[in-house]
Structure 1
């Protein structure tokens, strides 16, 4: 009987289980397998731990076609615990006795005809808590939502200490050697000309009164959406053929700290023992971060957009508001560019929060440019050569130095390079698609209902 079975720490290889046996075991009895009298525990403890590993990390399948895709329960026990086959066989038999149902309606967990496959996408309690939190956002309140706030506190508490698989932090620093591009779509040249008269104002973030709801901001909250390449910036605004796009380049005036959301997809939490509950928690967190990364960056359409954007906006608000992280914004890979193109690997989008999105000279109403769209060549011939010239007015020297005021806000974080603006006429759009043929199946004959008898004389 399994009630009389004991196993010592030398008959197990998993480090967590070995340490567990050493801490709670004793040598009052002989190990049932090596017959040595050293610290051991009752096999009952191993059964419970092994069953939890099966429940948490493995799915079972009935391998009726003998495909070989999966392992037997005994193989899983050998591999996870690091035990000999006779130990695994005992544990398996005892698992069948202890955890298989004794009725006809509950599913059987352990069976010789089953194979077991490792689960790679389980996010457990985190996913359940996230579901409850987002549900409360939809149905209760967005602001001062304690449930959402507590969840995000626990999720991001040590984000500044985490590393990805290359041992890099998901928080990166943008310096003045990083160029951020913004793109605006116009219908005609007259609109372009008006915007170019005050480019710092018109190509930077919109004023709060005009700020529309976006992926990382609620309506009325102005943030800076930019990209690290011109092509990426144009792709993100999705201009129609025939329209005009003007791109402008911005450089940071100070170091900016941004959280790379795409890096959350590859965070490393180490590889501990599956028998350790802490390993399960870190595994859940890694998988959840990967899922969250996709949710925050994938495009949304139609009716889903408002609800999906609500979630990403709340996460952005949270990260912006936490002084602990001192974040200026977030970055993420674009889903609008060719996955095999030159921008796919190195290009990314950057969203700077309201507090870090000020553009130098944007608030200076007196700062204007003279704009000419055509250059006169000769007679009545003109060439399309758009040009802007800063209008500089001679400043009257103030009588007292105390009356001098700076022409820009010292809190500004971005400088627009007015000599790097580009005019783009959209002449075509390329699409990459994945094709799946729609098969024509056989016709389905619809049976007509039996006709009703109109007259008893039909008998």
Structure 2
């Protein structure tokens, strides 16, 4: 302890102007008592040094650790090596400097805070044994590395709960997902990019490519005739389960590159793949999983919630890989449960309005992106086709040289209807059904969703799958043979 008595130290006060750390300074300015500062002699809003020490102790408990006052085994080995001129120095910063640097306060104030904390943490037994205690005058401190172990454990319980306990009404899953994603629209990457981005008109992300595999000429021709119906999101009755949707929930999977769209549907050799571009016609909000790995959390160590937010940010950095890791076909029913639950939560329960997710392609390397638009944003606008139009498609034609591939669509529209005299009398005795609102309700099968996508008919193309290229890492199998004896490793 300094020559000043402990009670006298605790009675000292420090003003917000003597505290450079913004969060703590603002707290003193807002909640402090107006009094004379012991360090600048100005009368301002102040905290007692006792309260200041309490705030420092809490911050250090969450964000710092006291380093060992002895070398570790490796450092001992270096010291014993006579060929090396290794000199061991204790890791971290001197306790007074660590306090001064963390709170950005004058050195004499940091010394006073250290003295108060050393007195609070000292005990007779440790002193008798010569053991160093927290905030001892010769102690050193270093910032902790952020660990997301608790979040990883929660994620494991979340996945296990979906697989073995409650799949559809899991309070555990809902609570965990809310903790992960609430307020995600306020997060930024190191470069200042948001995690929730705009897509649609006037944005760089305004078109998507979508592919569908065909092994039947009739179905392929139907898709060529009406790509809005056949290449858009499927009807609920035929919507298969996918990475981001359960069976029967119709969503729109697309990609920012046509070749990526083809790769994602994993077409068999010999099949044909139709690809179309879709224009996003209204503003949508998408969660960009590719940005998670660069997320940065800003805050103050004197904010008691900052440590958990740092741990959350650390977990988010690995979440993109967890969500998009390759899954073997036989494992898909179980391994997709977590990602399906995430999509359902973001689509319906999240406090942040989100229409879909951007995620990296599993099938194609590079800067290729996939997008899933949730059901609420997956409706494709119907093509403008006059009533009575006959549409035909062909995939080729016979020529003198043989069959020539030729994908064409022909639309035969009816002639314009004859003009009707506006003064034409209506048949007496027949009610005007169009003028009766009570009878003009919506059709039972009408879709209340606002269209989000518009197919670009001229973008439709057909790809013949002639072969598949695999990128692999090769590892040679080593084989050995020896005669059995007592030294056999088996």
Structure 1 48/317 Cα, relative in aligned 2: closer, same or farther at 3 Å?
closer
Alpha-carbon distance, 1:185 to partner? 2.4
- Contact map agreement 2:94 2:139 (CA 8 A) in 1: no
Aligned partner (choices 303, 307, 312) of residue 280 of structure 1: 307
1-structure distance, mates of 2:486, 2:139: 41
Unmatched segments (≥5 aa) in structure 2: 41-45, 79-87, 128-132, 421-425, 427-431, 435-439
Q: Does 210-219 or 16-25 show the bigger shift? A: 16-25
Structure 1 121/433 Cα, relative in aligned 2: closer, same or farther at 3 Å?
farther
Residue 413 in 1 paired to residue 452 in 2?
A: yes
Deviations 1:103-154 (A, max 9, x none): xxxxx99999999674244364x44544444433233322232333234344
Aligned to 1:388: 409
Structure 1 285/431 Cα, relative in aligned 2: closer, same or farther at 3 Å?
same
2-structure distance, mates of 1:199, 1:300: 30
Aligned to 1:65: 74
Structure 1 397/145 Cα, relative in aligned 2: closer, same or farther at 3 Å?
farther
Aligned to 2:173: 148
Structure 1 398/151 Cα, relative in aligned 2: closer, same or farther at 3 Å?
farther
- Contact map agreement 1:356 1:412 (CA 8 A) in 2: yes
Structure 1 213/82 Cα, relative in aligned 2: closer, same or farther at 3 Å?
same
- Contact map agreement 2:275 2:460 (CA 8 A) in 1: yes
- Count of matched residue pairs: 429
TM-score by length of 2: 0.66
1-structure distance, mates of 2:482, 2:22: 61
Q: Does 180-189 or 38-47 show the bigger shift? A: 38-47
Alpha-carbon distance, 1:226 to partner? 0.7
Alpha-carbon distance, 1:9 to partner? 5.3
Residue 425 in 1 paired to residue 429 in 2?
A: no
Residue 41 in 1 paired to residue 49 in 2?
A: yes
Deviations 1:73-95 (A, max 9, x none): 64893664668699599899889
Aligned to 2:265: 237
Structure 1 289/97 Cα, relative in aligned 2: closer, same or farther at 3 Å?
same
Aligned partner (choices 160, 163, 185) of residue 135 of structure 1: 160
1-structure distance, mates of 2:388, 2:351: 38
Alignment of 1:180-259 (within 5 A): 180-187=208-215, 192-193=220-221, 195-259=223-287
Alignment of 1:315-354 (within 5 A): 315-322=342-349, 325-339=352-366, 344=367, 347-354=368-375
The 3-state SS of whatever aligns with 2:74 is: coil
Q: Does 416-425 or 38-47 show the bigger shift? A: 38-47
1-structure distance, mates of 2:475, 2:483: 23
Alpha-carbon distance, 1:397 to partner? 7.0
Unmatched segments (≥5 aa) in structure 1: 103-107, 450-459
Deviations 1:227-264 (A, max 9, x none): 12212212222334444322111113333332223333
- Give the CA RMSD over aligned residues: 5.4
2-structure distance, mates of 1:402, 1:256: 39
- Contact map agreement 1:226 1:351 (CA 8 A) in 2: yes
2-structure distance, mates of 1:284, 1:40: 31
